[in-house]
């Protein structure tokens, strides 16, 4: 009978390392579960490497985090619905792997069921799908399994990710109209420069006479675009590629993120979005029994702006040294004084998680207002620019026609 060595976590949180005899890996996992142990690693003795979460043919559903994140919320919602009907989590995943029609969702549930059928708990099965489930989601599911509150944890996770999804959809919808206006305005301008102005210039040159300043400026602009437009476009693309590659270096990402924070509108919006994400994520983690130290570390990793992440990392270090959360966050310079006061009151009353959730809700409303203002200002600015340019073209053409007509003697 094969010998398996394992490392597992006991019910009191201690790590146990030992070995056992079992006919197969699945039987070994079941024996550990019967002893009340949660396996961390499980490998056959004398084998080179055989980790417990060994990849199955369906283990990797997607290979990129940006693509896999789209699968997370629908899966959690489906699992919550079935768990609310009284089904155990494992049986719910098995049912989803057979009944779902969407290919990627079905493949995800199939991969999870492969792990669950080997005796893994749901949290470790989800941990094998790192492109879909981030670390804080896996840790919350593990906490829900340990406390028997899995359905409540699922509900909070769904609320958390639904709020984030609504914010992204709101921003996308807000940018759609200005982008459409910019595209139309650019099309009108290019039509005048490439088609109308060359013909008008030929006509005016044949008639002779001195052109007014507006017409000369417009003709010179048209000549520049016609002769040097391609070169200018190629240069702009090369500069964009160089900047893009520089931004993907650690130093470039840090400096560009710090520069973004200093921009008038973008800096305020990025900071507000980071505070909203920080408050909401930390509240969800604390409400589900994650320790403050671990919750702060996991929340810090969800902040995308590197400059802000460094500031929050320093705040986390000060909290771990014994300083209060409100005082540590006040030193970052990101939180307004009123928000710091709300955090201090929440800490003093022992209601930190509800206080953080209240701050997240406040910032959600503020971010929504900023998005609407940005949309209105950008739309109005683009329309004004387009109308002004078209009016300038019309003025240049009409003034040229009048001036050339006036030069004729009847």
Name 208's Cβ contacts closer than 8 Å, sequence gap at least 6: 404, 407
Which residue do the tokens 């200018």 mark?
Answer: 232
What is the pTM (predicted TM-score) of this model? 0.65
pLDDT of residue 53: 38
pLDDT of residue 209: 60
Six-digit token pair at 142?
């593990």
pLDDT of residue 207: 62
Residues in the chain: 410
pLDDT tens-digit series, residues 317-362? 888 888 888 888 888 888 888 888 988 998 888 888 888 888 888 8
pLDDT of residue 69: 61
pLDDT of residue 235: 93
Q: Which residues of the chain have pLDDT under 50?
A: 46-60, 63-67, 410
pLDDT tens-digit series, residues 250-262? 888 889 988 988 8
C-alpha angle 406-409-410 in degrees, rounded to nearest 5: 115
Spell out the alpha helix ranges (H) of 324-351: 325-330, 337-349
Antiparallel, parallel or unpaired: β 3-9 and 38-44: antiparallel
Helix axes 250-262, 213-247, angle to 10 degrees: 130
């Amino acid at each position: 009978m094969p010998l398996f060595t394992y490392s597992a976590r006991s019910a009191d949180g201690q790590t146990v390392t030992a070995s056992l005899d079992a006919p197969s890996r699945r039987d070994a996992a079941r024996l550990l579960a019967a002893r009340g142990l949660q396996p961390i690693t499980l490998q056959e003795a004398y084998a080179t490497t055989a980790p417990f979460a060994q990849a199955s043919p369906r283990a990797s559903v997607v290979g990129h985090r940006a693509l896999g994140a789209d699968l997370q919320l629908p899966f959690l919602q489906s699992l919550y619905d079935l768990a609310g009907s009284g089904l155990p989590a494992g049986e719910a995943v098995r049912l989803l792997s057979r009944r779902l029609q969407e290919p990627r969702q079905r493949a995800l549930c199939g991969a999870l069921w492969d792990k669950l059928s080997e005796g893994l708990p749901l949290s470790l099965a989800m941990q094998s799908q790192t492109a879909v489930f981030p670390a804080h989601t896996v840790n919350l599911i593990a906490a829900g399994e340990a406390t028997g509150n899995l359905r409540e944890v699922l509900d909070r996770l769904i609320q958390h990710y639904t709020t984030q999804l609504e914010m992204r959809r709101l921003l996308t919808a807000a940018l759609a109209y200005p982008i459409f206006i910019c595209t139309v305005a650019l099309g009108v301008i290019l039509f005048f420069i490439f088609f109308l102005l060359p013909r008008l210039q030929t006509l005016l040159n044949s008639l002779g006479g001195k052109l007014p300043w507006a017409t000369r400026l417009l003709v010179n602009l048209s000549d520049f675009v016609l002769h040097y437009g391609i070169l200018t476009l190629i240069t702009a693309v090369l500069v964009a590629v160089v900047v893009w590659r520089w931004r993907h270096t650690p130093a470039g990402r840090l400096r560009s993120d710090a520069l973004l924070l200093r921009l008038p509108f973008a800096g305020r919006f990025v900071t507000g979005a980071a505070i909203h994400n920080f408050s909401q994520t930390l509240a969800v983690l604390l409400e589900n029994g994650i320790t403050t130290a671990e919750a702060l570390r996991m929340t810090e990793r969800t902040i995308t702006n590197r400059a802000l992440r460094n500031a929050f990392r320093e705040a986390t270090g000060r909290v771990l040294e014994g300083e209060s959360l409100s005082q540590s966050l006040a030193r970052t310079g990101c939180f307004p004084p009123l928000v710091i006061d709300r955090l201090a009151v929440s800490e003093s009353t022992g209601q930190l998680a509800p206080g953080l959730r209240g701050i997240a809700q406040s910032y959600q409303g503020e971010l929504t207002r900023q998005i609407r203002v940005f949309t209105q200002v950008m739309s109005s600015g683009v329309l004004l620019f387009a109308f002004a340019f078209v009016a300038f073209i019309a003025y240049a053409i009409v003034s040229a026609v009048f001036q050339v007509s006036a030069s004729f003697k009847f």
